Every structure is written in structure tokens, then in C-alpha cells.
Amino acid sequence: MTKDKRVLVGMSGGIDSSATCIMLQEQGYEVVGVTMRTWDIPSHFSSPDQEQPNEIIEAQHVAARLGIEHHVADVREEFRKVIVQYFIDEYMKGRTPNPCVLCNPLFKERILCEWADRTGCQWIATGHYCRLEDRNGLRYIITGDDPVKDQSYFLWKLPQSILKRMLVPLGGMTKEEVRNYLAGKGFEAKARGGESMEICFIDRDYREFLREHCPDIDEKIGPGWFVDSKGMKLGQHQGFAYYTIGQRRGLGIALGEPAYVLKINPEKNTVMLGNVEQLKTEYMLVESPETPDLDELLACPDLSVRIRYRSRPIPCQVILLDNGCLLVKFNTEASAITPGQSAVFYDANRVLGGGFIASQQGIRKISAENSYKFDKKNGQI
């Protein structure tokens, strides 16, 4: 078979990647599988003497049953240095990381492309719930048909060089349809399997993970102060890294009314608390934007943005600041803007790009100084 019909599939041994392999085989592709060993979690080993985690063994079984070539890529050390360290570093900066967003371009899809070249495959394929569309020489990510499983939010950082090699056969299906398809192909037990974790290297509270992999975190940070919006001390907290914007539960302080984390100041080790109304905002700063066509994003008349996974898209307008950041004006108020999370921009169901939510320090002054640009954009001046 020619190289242009040879595809490398990232196999986790689960429902989605298994269905992807079968579908591509039915479409006439010669499928090659690769499973990345990224992070070993004890619960992923069924017996003490087991040399490889369950997902690798499952993927090997599926590959053998389908008669496809299969490889294991042991990338644990690189994964620790690139993804896990980023996760830790972000919390140590008072931010809330998006490890899956960074993992796709910097790690998983990049490694898939490297292994595709190594194994003579033209294409790479994943079990993501999204679709792809070519327009004006560019490839865009389109939301998946299953709104519950849509994963377009996590893929905004993928470059054109990767997108143009990708196949995502599950994008037009719901999760239930994929399960039924897999069962119909004789994989009944697998079709009834459970879902994988959203963050693949954490199987417990992230605070425990931070303490385990950064043993001196409590010495580096130590207890700090909860403060109100005027800077008045309300009580002590465990350390800023253990909190995130919008958090209400697990604060360990009683104020007589519901309190939410409004801001985190890592320099002062303070965590600002307030009421739910104080979480709301009309503006947001986004740093390090990436988009197939920046001019299209800035000019889009029906632009919307998602500020966290599973959040509803919020209609908005965007201008580019001199420092390269985007200033976003929400058409309706948004809540709990969280630095470190992704802001992903859409034109209906098409991803126009994204960026990381920046520190909102000085947002009132910045928005006031640039409000005339939105007025000019809307033809009001």
C-alpha cells in the first residue's frame, strides 16, 4: 500500500482510539498504532509484577486483534520535563494551568508526526471529538457533533503543519454512537468501558500531586493571608498555589456568607476573597495568541470565546494591543477569569484561534484607555 494511505494512530487502548483504528481500516487505510508511555500511575497496573501499564497492554491486544503494526514510545522522561514541570511551574506562579492544551502541540501530536515519519505514514490520526475544515488554504478545527464530548477547546494551539496531517474520524459522531459502533464490530466489553481522566497524570487532588513532586513547596511558599478587595486581612491560608480563581469550597475560612477566590497574588502570597458579583467582568486580557488568520479573528462580526472547558461560548469583541496581547470585551458579563487557562475564539463552530488568559492586573485602566477602539470598531466614532 502507498504511503498516502498509511496512517499512524495514537492508541490509548480505550474506546475512541480503538474505534478510530477500525474506521480507518474500513476506509481503506493501512493503520499503524503507537502508544505513548507518558506517566505511570499505580492504579494503571493490575498486578505488582506487571511491566507495562494497562493501557499499553490493552492497545497491544486491540492491535493484535485488528492485525495492525504497533509500537510503544517510552517518553516518560520528556513528558515529566515538558508537561509535568509546566503544570507545577504554573501553580507556583499563581496561575491555573491547561496541561492538555500544551501537551497536544508540544508533545503528543508532535511525537505522532515524528513516529509517522519514522514508520512511513503520511497521516496521523487521533480519537478527538472534533472535525477539520479546509478554507482559503488553511485548515481549521471545527467543533465535534457531540456537544458534551467536543474537544476543540484543547486543540487551538496545533500548528498548520500538524493539522494538515491529521485525521479525526470521530468528529461527526456522539460518544454513544461510537460505543454502539465498537460493540457492533465485536468489541462489546471495550464499548462498555469507562472514560479516561481529563488530566492523565493525576489520579487524586492536584494539591497532593504538587506536594509529592515539589516536596519543598510548603517551605517555598508557606501560609499567607486571605484578604478582601480593600486589602484587609481575613485569616490565614495554606499557600497561594493551593487555590484557583472562582474557588468556593475547601477554603478553610468562614465569613458568614459564601466567599469566592477573586485574585491570587504570588508575590505577596495573598488570596483575595469576595462575593460572586465581584467575580464578574466586562473585559479580559489574553496573551500569546495564536490563530490561522489574525485579521479574520479581529474582524469577525459574530466572534465568541470560551474561557474554560465545557463553558458556554460568550459573544465578544477583540482588539490587538501594542504589546501583542488581545483585549477582549464581552458582550455579556463573564465570571471567574482565570490566568493560565485558555481563551478559545470561535466563529460559530469554527475555531479562529486562542491564547492564554493573562494576569488581569490593571485591566480597568487598560480597558478604559482602549475603550475608544471598540467604539471606533463599532462605527460609533
Q: Output the DSSP codes for 45-58.
A: -SSTT-SS-HHHHH
pLDDT band of residue 106 (cuts 50, 70, 90) is confident
List the single range of 125-129, 179-183, 250-254 with lowest mean pLDDT.
250-254
What cell does 379 get?
A: 462605527
Instruction: Give the range with max mean pLDDT: 188-192, 202-206, 224-228.
Output: 224-228
Q: How far apart, in Å, are the Cα atoms of 70 and each of 9, 122, 206?
A: 9, 16, 33
Domain ranges of the chain: 3-191, 221-274, 278-377
pLDDT band of residue 1 (cuts 50, 70, 90) is low
What pTM value is reported for the model?
0.95
pLDDT at 2 over 80: no
Do the annotations mark residue 172 as ligand-binding? Answer: no
pLDDT at 297 over 80: yes
pLDDT at 155: 97
221-274 matches 3-191 in CATH topology: no
Do the annotations mark residue 127 as ligand-binding? Answer: yes
Count the Cβ atoms, other than its own, within 10 Å of residue 119: 14
Residues 303-353 pLDDT 10s = 999 999 989 999 999 999 999 999 999 999 999 999 999 999 999 999 999
pLDDT at 194: 82
- CA 117, 119, 121, 124 dihedral sign is negative
> Mapping DSSP to helix (H, G, I), strand (E, B) and coil, where does residue 126 land?
coil
Answer CATH for 221-274 from 2.60.40.1190, 3.40.190.10, 3.20.10.10, 2.30.30.280: 2.30.30.280
CATH fold of 3-191 reads Rossmann fold (3.40.50)
Phi–psi pair at 30, nearest 5 degrees: -90, 115
pLDDT at 381 over 80: no
- CA 329, 330, 335, 336 dihedral sign is negative
| CB < 8 Å & 24+ apart, contacts of 141-149 | 141/350, 141/351, 142/171, 142/349, 142/350, 142/351, 143/346, 143/349, 143/350, 143/351, 144/170, 144/171, 144/172, 145/171, 145/172, 145/173, 145/174, 146/173, 146/174, 146/175, 148/174, 148/175, 149/174, 149/175
pLDDT at 197: 62
**Parallel, antiparallel or unpaired: strands 30-37 and 69-74:** parallel
Q: Say how far apart CA 66 and CA 62 lie, in whole Å.
A: 6
Do the annotations mark residue 186 as ligand-binding? Answer: no
Q: How far apart, in Å, are the Cα atoms of 351 and each of 59, 108, 335?
A: 31, 20, 22
Sheet containing strand 270-274, edge to edge, reads 233-237, 224-227, 270-274, 260-265
pLDDT at 257 over 80: yes
Instruction: Name the class of domain 278-377.
Output: mainly beta
Amino acid sitting at position 280: K
Q: Residue 100 catalytic? A: no
| Residue 70 bridge partners (DSSP) | 33
pLDDT band of residue 377 (cuts 50, 70, 90) is confident
Q: How far apart, in Å, are the Cα atoms of 314 and each of 132, 202, 242, 304, 319?
A: 22, 30, 28, 5, 16
Angle at 127 between CA 122 and CA 128, to 5 degrees: 105
pLDDT at 3: 65
The catalytically annotated residue of 21, 103, 130, 325 is: 103
Do the annotations mark residue 36 as ligand-binding? Answer: yes
> Mapping DSSP to helix (H, G, I), strand (E, B) and coil, where does residue 166 land?
strand
Do the annotations mark residue 14 as ligand-binding? Answer: yes
Residues 4-62 pLDDT 10s = 799 999 999 999 999 999 999 999 999 999 999 999 998 899 998 899 999 999 999 99
> Mapping DSSP to helix (H, G, I), strand (E, B) and coil, where does residue 73 land?
strand
Do the annotations mark residue 284 as ligand-binding? Answer: no
Q: Residue 200 catalytic? A: yes
| Residue 319 bridge partners (DSSP) | 327
Q: 248 and 258 in contact (C-beta within 8 Å)?
A: yes
Which whole number is the average pLDDT over 239-256? 95
The catalytically annotated residue of 21, 121, 130, 200 is: 200
Q: Say how far apart CA 191 and CA 205 lie, in whole Å.
A: 28
pLDDT at 242: 97
Residues 144-170 pLDDT 10s = 999 999 999 999 999 999 999 999 999
Q: How far apart, in Å, are the Cα atoms of 148 and each of 45, 130, 153?
A: 29, 11, 12
